[in-house]
Structure 1
Amino acid sequence: MARRIDFIIAGVQKAGTTSLDAFLRQHPDICMAKKKEPHFFDTRPPTGIRPLDYWLYHRQFDWNAWRDGCVLGEATPIISWWSGALERVWTYNPRIQIVVILRDPVERAWSHYRMDCRLGRETLPYPVAIRQERERARRALPEQDRERSYLARSYYAPQIRELRRLFSDDQLLFLRSEDLAGDSQKELAKVCRFLGVAAHQFDIAERYNAAPDEDRMSSDDRDYLRRVFAHDAAETRALLGWEQGAWSV
């Protein structure tokens, strides 16, 4: 049997993937990649990946643990959004299991912007950055712009449709970021059942990759983003059978 990892946390950025990756590393029957975000499937040439190149990817994983019965996984949250990445995942392992965490799209965009400012990748004020995103992103054409994507990555319905085009429902698990933060043990139990591993009591005391809370989005920007995301958020909930819940839109 060809060596293939068992699951990927494929999205979305700024929704709790770092926490989920860290929690799953505590489970004795789950072995995550040596580092979070190997970025294998989203940095390959558009034409695909030669099978012989998988050894580069496989160096990230403990195959002795896999032979002993552990499931192998990794977290690269751009995969669900980056064009062609999910198709390359399907080519690699069409039976792979995929976890996707979705966050209130307004809050996700704000958190993404704040992260880019901290990393020195963004210098424009938030009102300008979100209103000029499409024009700025066109500078990368015909390529997809990884940096100018605060709004783009918060459109979830196209990502869900692409996931469902390639993978069956029993291969997909969609979680809410707000639920993972609010009742971590319950959501982690869902992940364990999905992956077919035993229940586990996780240490959930630490917050991972959390940003300072002192900054606040202006009411004008929040109202603007609610209008921008209203249709996609409604479609997302319809696709997944979710209520609005804690989301602002």
Structure 2
Amino acid sequence: MKDIANITLPDFLIIGAGKSGTTSLYHYLDQHPDIFFSEVKEPNFFALEGIDPVSEKDDPEQMFHYPWAVTEFQEYLDLFASAEPHQLKAEASTMYLYSKKAAEGIKQRIPEAKLIAVLRQPAERLWSRYLHLARENRTPEVSFNDVIKKGNIYWKRPDLIPSGFYADHLKSYFDLFPEHQIKILFHEDLLKRPSEVLNQLIEFLDLAPFEFETNQQFNKSGYIKNKKLDAIIGQNSVVKKSVEKLTPGLLNMIKGQPHLKKWLNNARNANLEKPSFPKELKNKITQEIYLEDIEKLEDLLRVNLDHWKHFN
């Protein structure tokens, strides 16, 4: 008889990178009837197994022990208990990309799992992460213009500068898993040719063809235009927190209504303003922080990334 843990563990994982289109990819793939995503979108189990989650204010230089993290094995298995026998089980935790503990844990627990990573030009990813934090009033006290200065919080927090060293992070996975189990995607392709990218993934996952709806952008970053409106419809709105606390069943019902979810997502996006990333700063961050890793990534993946290196 097959071990129950092997039955309920995921068949594939989206491992990152954060702010590179992973949330959109999650929502697109979740449409496929033969895919079951964990009921917690980012359990981060393999990175945080056995570790008590802590709040951002108690660990400001890390900010990766999200309150919804799942850190116990049985609780993690329970996330996939509702999957139908024919469905591939999956989850998406962007912390996995930069966690060696996660790479080793996945190899130990589910060595045959398929892994998907979406990569974005690292300076752009950093800027998007900064704007994401701005959206939630959680930006570091150090100005983004001072990001180059080594030793500040941008260098210490793994979700900021360190997250963009893709070659170093991916090496942990390529050292542990055969190449045919790893699929690397690029943010620009997912943005411009989502259907083509999704068809590649369906083939990678050995699933039946499916027509995905890809006309929405999820987890958009930017400054909030109307804070009063955000307090009602935002990701961290007072209304959402009250519903979660008082009537969690209502929140699940809302999540199960695709038309309502689409309206809410569009309304949130419309209430965000994304300032342009100054090209001079983008070039500076790319050249002084990320260029060496980009070149290593080209060698690792056998691809040309010249379009990531210079901006006019």
TM (norm. structure 1) is: 0.86
SS of match in other structure, 2:47: coil
What is the aligned-residue RMSD (CA, Å)?
Answer: 2.0
Equivalent position amino acid for 1:60 in 2: L
Aligned to 2:206: 196
Q: Aligned match of 2:176 in 166, 172, 186?
A: 166
> Does residue 13 of the first structure (1) align with residue 18 of the second (2)?
yes
SS of match in other structure, 1:158: helix
Aligned to 2:277: 217
Cα 1:28/1:245, change in 2 over 3 Å: farther
Question: Structure 2 matches for 1:69-218, cutoff 5 A?
Answer: 69-122=86-139, 123-128=141-146, 130-132=147-149, 134-136=151-153, 145=156, 147=157, 149-212=159-222, 214-218=274-278
Q: Aligned match of 1:230 in 281, 288, 291?
A: 291
Point out the structure with max Rg over C-alpha: 2
Give, in whole Å, the separation in 2 of the partners of 1:80 and 1:214.
26
Give, in whole Å, the separation in 2 of the partners of 1:29 and 1:78.
25
> Does residue 59 of the first structure (1) align with residue 120 of the second (2)?
no
Give, in whole Å, the separation in 1 of the partners of 2:205 and 2:158.
34
Q: CA deviation at 1:83?
A: 3.5
SS of match in other structure, 1:229: helix
Cα 1:120/1:95, change in 2 over 3 Å: same
> Does residue 42 of the first structure (1) align with residue 47 of the second (2)?
yes
Equivalent position amino acid for 2:293 in 1: D
Contact 2:36 2:83 in 1 (8 A): no
Cα 1:151/1:137, change in 2 over 3 Å: closer
Give, in whole Å, the separation in 1 of the partners of 2:88 and 2:201.
12
Contact 2:142 2:153 in 1 (8 A): no
Aligned to 1:243: 304
Give, in whole Å, the separation in 1 of the partners of 2:49 and 2:167.
24
Q: CA deviation at 1:121?
A: 2.4
Contact 1:31 1:62 in 2 (8 A): no
Q: CA deviation at 1:223?
A: 2.3
Structure 2: tracts of 5 or more residues without a match: 52-71, 223-272
- Asked which structure has the greater RCO (Cα within 8 Å, sep 6+), the reply is 1
Q: Aligned match of 1:32 in 8, 12, 37?
A: 37
SS of match in other structure, 2:42: coil
Give, in whole Å, the separation in 2 of the partners of 1:64 and 1:11.
23
Aligned to 2:253: none
Contact 2:23 2:219 in 1 (8 A): yes
Q: CA deviation at 1:183?
A: 0.4
Cα 1:149/1:26, change in 2 over 3 Å: closer
Give, in whole Å, the separation in 1 of the partners of 2:83 and 2:97.
29
How many positions carry a matched residue from both structures? 233
Contact 1:17 1:75 in 2 (8 A): yes
Q: CA deviation at 1:187?
A: 0.3
Structure 1: tracts of 5 or more residues without a match: 47-52, 139-144
1:162-210 CA distances to partner (integer Å, 9 max, x unpaired)?
Answer: 1101111011000001101110010001111111111111011111112
Identity rate, percent = 24
TM (norm. structure 2) is: 0.70
